[in-house]
Amino acid sequence: MLGETESVREPYLDYNEWFQGEDPARIQRKAGQAEAFFRKTGITFNVYGTDEADERLIPFDVVPRVISAREWRKLSRGIEQRVSALNAFLHDIYHRQEILRAGRVPFELIANNEAFLPQMVGVDPPGDIYTHIVGTDIVRTGPDEFFVLEDNARTPSGVSYMLENRETMLQMFPELFSRIPIQQVSNYPTNLRRSLGACAPTKCEGKPVVAVLTPGIHNSAYFEHSFLADQMGAELVEGHDLRVVDGRIAMRTTQGYTAIDVLYRRVDDEYLDPLNFNPDSMLGVPGIMDVFRSGGITIANAPGTGIADDKALYSYMPEIVEFYTGEKPLLNNVETFRCSDPQQLQYVLDNLAALVVKEVHGSGGYGMLVGPAASKAEVEEFRKKLIERPTNYIAQPTLALSTVPIFTEKGLAPRHVDLRPFVLMSPDRIDITAGGLTRVAMSEGSLVVNSSQGGGTKDTWVLEE
């Protein structure tokens, strides 16, 4: 919000003018009302592996993050380029594998990767779309310096918080939206429905029937599953609601079984089909992969997309973008050390206290080491893990992440943030919602923004042109 000279940055001028005229006590009351609204609405997430109550509210901060139209244009072009390359890469590795033949990506990185599904080789998803919904995590290190931290192409979550954050701000501070021109995010459910419908399979007759597949009420993101189904006007189903009928996937209704055209699944590949993957799964649908391969249903995101957000593959994204688009990446990768490489592993071991180390299949902030914030004992414990299973990890330098203000009892205070814009891909277009989910480290000095690790969220404003 404040530049290096302590002057207010241009995107925040209108907000700052409003803020300076406000009574801090009023803003504090509104913050309390926002928390009560979240609690009443049931906007919670589950935390696994703790002895505490397993349902928590995500902390919400009432100071928005403001992005100018110019900054957003730059981000949007880079995100669109990256998502297009990821989709082309997925089609390639499940078909001709030209990028492997060209030596731009190591063959063993794909062949030995548990996220690569041999069952998808030669399969053409409807419209050749694998990555229907993508959440691209972006961090900022300077006025015009943006880096992609990771690509979430399996089942990216958090969009419900983006929508509810905006709804909350509209209720708490309606006057702000009449004086500041902010691009809307409320059209996301409509765009999601349209985008999924545009990917309907060839066996679809008439208006596509869309459903959301959830693992059930005990899943950490169940609120989001039910929220999106409701917002789209789609059915929310679990595996036991579905069966194969006449070569289609059909859901149980009060009028019998109705065929589904597009299934927005929030179930991981491993549990999707007990006949093709984990035979013990109770969450998926027996035979759904056979129906998918025969063109009877669209699964979003397509099975096997998980390899696109593998952290070991991430380090090859500049090559992947250039290979499929013929252009240099518009958004930079963070420098990444592959611990599977003996030389790079040695560098990581020698500089462990200064690096961030992540599991290649990890998510949610689990299984990672933030060297500068770790104790000597934690660093040494991670050293043993790296030596034991080097291929399981990558490492990156600690970035000087940008900060945005949060509202505290003592006034505004800086906290580190990242941004997850949400992208919808269909055969005819790519939609990027103007904003996304800003995740914020609520603790002073912390770089970990994940909600499972105590991070919070805030509304993201992209200004109109």
The neighbouring-strand residues paired with 243 are 250
Q: Is 107 helix (H, G, I), strand (E, B) or coil?
A: helix
- Domain definitions of the chain by residue range: 10-334+399-462, 337-397
At 42 the pLDDT is 67
User: Looking at the predicted structure, is the pLDDT value of residue 53 above 50?
Assistant: no
- Measure the CA–CA gap between 46 and 65, rounded to whole angstroms: 26
Q: What is the pLDDT of residue 48?
A: 47
CB 370 within 8 A of CB 447: yes
pLDDT tens-digit profile of 268-295?
A: 999 999 999 999 999 999 999 999 999 9
- Asked whether the predicted pLDDT for residue 123 surpasses 80, the reply is yes
Give the Cα separation of 308 and 273 in Å (integer).
21
CATH entry 1.10.3720.10 includes domain 337-397: no
Which are the contacts of 5, defined by CB distance < 8 A and separation ≥ 6? none
Task: Band the pLDDT of 365: cuts 50, 70, 90.
Answer: low
- The counts of H helices and E strands in the chain are 14, 23
Q: Is 401 exposed, middle or buried (0-12, 13-18, 19+ CB in 10 A)?
A: middle
Q: Which of 62-71, 152-161, 367-376 has the lowest mean pLDDT?
A: 367-376
Q: b/e string for 58-85 if b means 16 or more Cβ within 10 A?
A: bbbbbbbbbbbeebbeebbebbbbbbbb
- pLDDT digit string (tens) for 163-212? 999 999 999 999 999 999 999 999 999 999 999 999 999 999 999 999 99
What phi and psi, each to the nearest 5 degrees, are found at residue 445?
A: 85, -15
How far apart (Å, rounded) are the C-alpha atoms in residues 181 and 159? Answer: 22
Let me know: does 157 contact 135? Beta carbons within 8 Å: yes
